[in-house]
Amino acid sequence: MTPQPRKESIVVLDNVYKYFPAIETIFGRSKAYIRAVDGVSLDIYEGEILGLVGESGSGKTTVARIVAGLLKPDSGRVLYRGFDIYSGKIPKHIRRKIQMIYQDPEVSLDPRYTVKQTIEEALRAAGRSTNETKDLVRSLGLSEDVLEKIPQQLSGGQKQRVAIARALAMRPDLLIADEPTSALDVSTRTQILNILLELNKSFGITIMIITHDLGVAAYMSDRIAVMYLGKIVEVGAAEEIIKEPRHPYTMALISSSPSASRLSKVNIKPIGEIASQINIPKGCRFHPRCPFAMEICRREEPPYFDVGDGHVSACWLHGGAPKT
């Protein structure tokens, strides 16, 4: 693994928190909170593909929405190209360069709009000519006869392509793909993933792909960040994370995924099930499921340890000096 040249950050998440009230009360404040994002700091580098991996309840989708500018965090800063996304000072034309692709193709497109209307709407928003609709649709491998169709008449893969075309109409610099293939069949999945890889390679679009599937993350990403219960537990170069994971949760995740475990030698089985996001365990949040849990894990939350080459892991097993 060659050390990666230090790249410029396009997005900086600085100690971001987002809690949701667990019970909605009419007056007064809720006492219990779902700690969806519980102190996340993360950089996305210009031109890279970053895979954000986690199970349901890890907070990965909340992070995606925060980066997209759709959900204001309770505290912490979110910078896009140096602008605070939530300050209101970010120019509109810069903010528009962040686009999203969603998980469920069934609700990604307005059911009443034809493909043509959907794409033209995006082109107009970007101040581009609607004559480009055809080229855009064709560039994603769709035939022109889909233009007059409504989403109901398209297959899942086609819908996802249209959603990508809509995002591309904005000429994005950052594409956030939230589980873009988990609703698709395996054979269609590769088609969509390849389109995203191509966009990254040819146009240099930075991509953050959110997925529960380590196999997808490995195939797509330059770097992988692993989330567990609202916190990032490990970040590093994709191959290193899969081949030499340092955090026990990452190891467990790899062992549980038949496709990722083919790429790695680690094999540990996690105990029990993911804890509730309301009552996050004290100390290390993974300790109740961790086969290596020690005394300190129950008491103190581990800091991030730098294990080399920008590979960071939050686990007491590393001992040594924490990353500053």
Q: What distance in Å separates the CA atoms of residue 138 and residue 165, rounded to the nearest whole number?
A: 9
For residue 49, the minimal CB distance to other proteins (Å) is 7
For residue 320, the minimal CB distance to other proteins (Å) is 28
Binder among 12, 126, 266, 280 for other proteins (CB under 8 A)? 126
Binder among 140, 218, 297, 307 for other proteins (CB under 8 A)? 218
Which residues lie below 8 Å from residue 102, measured CB to CB, with a gap of 6+? 108, 163, 178, 180
- What mask of x and - would describe binding to other proteins in positions 61 to 90, judged by CB under 8 A? -------xxx--------------------
For residue 296, the minimal CB distance to other proteins (Å) is 23
Our CB check for other proteins shows the closer of 42 and 237 to be: 237
- Contact present, 11 and 47 (Cβ < 8 Å): no
Does 46 bind other proteins (CB under 8 A)? Our answer is: no
Does 187 bind other proteins (CB under 8 A)? Our answer is: yes
Three-state SS sequence of the chain: CCCCCCCCEEEEEEEEEEEEECCCCCCCCCCCEEEEEEEEEEEEECCCEEEEECCCCCCHHHHHHHHHCCCCCCEEEEEECCEECCCCCCCHHHHCCEEEECCCHHHCCCCCCCHHHHHHHHHHHCCCCHHHHHHHHHHCCCCHHHCCCCHHHCCHHHHHHHHHHHHHCCCCCEEEEECCCCCCCHHHHHHHHHHHHHHHHHHCCEEEEEECCHHHHHHHCCEEEEEECCEEEEEEEHHHHHHCCCCHHHHHHHHHCHHHHCCCCCCCCCCCCCCCCCCCCCCCCCHHHCCCCCHHHHHCCCCCEECCCCCEECCHHHCCCECC
Binder among 44, 242, 284, 293 for other proteins (CB under 8 A)? 242
Our CB check for other proteins shows the closer of 187 and 279 to be: 187
For residue 101, the minimal CB distance to other proteins (Å) is 9
Residue in 251, 300, 258, 252 with CA at minimum distance from that of residue 272: 252
Binder among 4, 152, 153, 259 for other proteins (CB under 8 A)? 259
- What mask of x and - would describe binding to other proteins in positions 292 to 321, judged by CB under 8 A? ------------------------------
Binder among 121, 132, 301, 306 for other proteins (CB under 8 A)? 121
Does 262 bind other proteins (CB under 8 A)? Our answer is: yes
The token pair that represents 175 in the structure block: 């594409």
Our CB check for other proteins shows the closer of 4 and 15 to be: 4
Q: Give the range of 72-80, 130-138, 255-263, 294-302 binding other proteins by CB under 8 A.
A: 255-263
Our CB check for other proteins shows the closer of 106 and 300 to be: 106
- How many residues belong to the chain? 324
Does 213 bind other proteins (CB under 8 A)? Our answer is: yes
Our CB check for other proteins shows the closer of 260 and 297 to be: 260
Does 265 bind other proteins (CB under 8 A)? Our answer is: no
Q: What distance in Å separates the CA atoms of residue 108 and residue 100, rounded to the nearest whole number?
A: 10
Does 235 bind other proteins (CB under 8 A)? Our answer is: no
Residues in contact with other proteins by the rule CB under 8 A: 26, 49, 55-56, 68-70, 92, 95-96, 98-100, 102-104, 107-112, 121-122, 125-126, 155, 157-158, 163, 166-167, 170, 185-191, 193-194, 197, 212-216, 218-222, 238-239, 242, 252-253, 255-259, 262-263, 269-270, 273-274, 289
